[in-house]
Amino acid sequence: MVTTEHNTWNRRRRPVLRPLDRWMYRRFAAVACISVATAESLRAWVPEIERRITVIPNGVDLEAIVDAVPVDRRDLVPGCRGAVVLCVGRFVAQKDYATVLRAMTGVPEAHLLLVGDGPDRPAMQALAERLGLQGRAHFAGRRRDVPGILKAADVFVQSSNWEGFGIAALEAMAAGVPVVASRVPGLAQLVEGAGLTFEPGDDAGLAACINLLLSDVAQRKELARKGVERAAEYSIGRTAERYLALYKSVLGRTAPSLAG
């Protein structure tokens, strides 16, 4: 058996459940982790399986993103005459959209477009209203044309409280959109050097990053270029090849016992 560890945290990370994880993970011949940060977190939690851990980063369909046709931003943000700051993801505590909404009060004239759905969406819509963001915070719900939406944005934000990797940020970089991300393990490793980072929960720090990019065209273009270069390292084809090699390795090790 092979499994993949997708995050640096899960609900089993409690002392009372640690024996269960120790038993469970020892059942696997290999554990693939989607980032170095995820591997480090799992290794610290269940150190006895260190030899079974391997890192296989997530990948995305780069060609589909690069070839996507930009969506007309007037259809996404009616009446928008300013910049568009984009977030894509589920409305859950992990993604911390409250920090993004608070940051937008310090980013005058720009519009915030939130794509996705989830249990926290009503609370975030109510918060946007309390913050006076009516007309500037737009909740688009689930969309099937995210690559085209990415290409219509000026800045992409991922404000997660924790993240094993950050596929949404990777897709934004592949689309040539400068990324601002919270400095949490996994996500920060992906974005650092190719985007701007801020401390999780720091809405003032996030606002400063967004304002810097919106006011500095050269910086925005430079980070967009670096993001495209970084994203090129994470093709879905390369990820598939690494999983195939892992499966073959496991089958090679277990073949004698299976034959017997």
Locus of tokens 């819509």? 125
pLDDT digits (tens, 9 = 90+) for 22-47: 999 999 999 999 999 999 999 999 99
- Mean pLDDT in the chain? 94
Q: Express each pLDDT in 78-132 by its tens digit.
A: 877 889 999 999 999 999 999 999 999 999 989 999 999 999 999 999 999 999 9
Please report the pLDDT score of residue 74 as a whole number. Answer: 85
Domain co-membership, 66 together with 55: no
- If one compares 211 and 14, the residue with the highest pLDDT of the two is 211
157 and 36 belong to one structural domain: no
Tell me the backbone φ, ψ of residue 85, rounded to 5 degrees.
Answer: -100, 130
Instruction: Indicate whether 258 pLDDT > 80.
Output: no
39: helix, strand or coil = helix
Question: Which pLDDT band holds residue 256 (cuts at 50, 70, 90)?
Answer: very low
127 shares its domain with 177? yes
Q: Do residue 114 and residue 46 come from a single domain?
A: no
DSSP for 68-135, please give it: PPPP-HHHHSTT--S-EEEEES--SGGG-HHHHHHHHTTSTT-EEEEE---TTHHHHHHHHHHTT-TT
pLDDT of residue 254: 60
Cβ-contact 31, 3 below 8 angstroms: yes
Q: Are residues 117 and 52 in the same domain?
A: no
Name the residue among 93, 88, 145, 146 with its Cα closest to residue 113: 88
Residues 54 and 72 in one domain: no
Residues 152-166 have a mean pLDDT of: 96
- Whether the Cβ atoms of residue 121 and residue 91 lie closer than 8 Å to each other: yes
CA 46, 50, 54, 57 torsion-angle sign: positive
Q: How many Cβ atoms are within 10 Å of 211's Cβ, its own excluded?
A: 16
pLDDT score recorded for residue 232: 96
**What total number of domains does the chain contain?**
2
Q: Give the CA-trace dihedral at 202, 203, 209, 211, to 10 degrees.
A: -160
Q: Are residues 205 and 101 in the same domain?
A: yes
The CATH number assigned to the domain holding 120 equals: 3.40.50.2000
Distance CA 17, CA 207 (A): 39
The reported pLDDT for the residue numbered 80 is 78
Q: Are residues 217 and 128 in the same domain?
A: yes
The radius of gyration of the chain from alpha carbons, rounded to an integer in Å, stands at: 20
CB 223 within 8 A of CB 179: yes
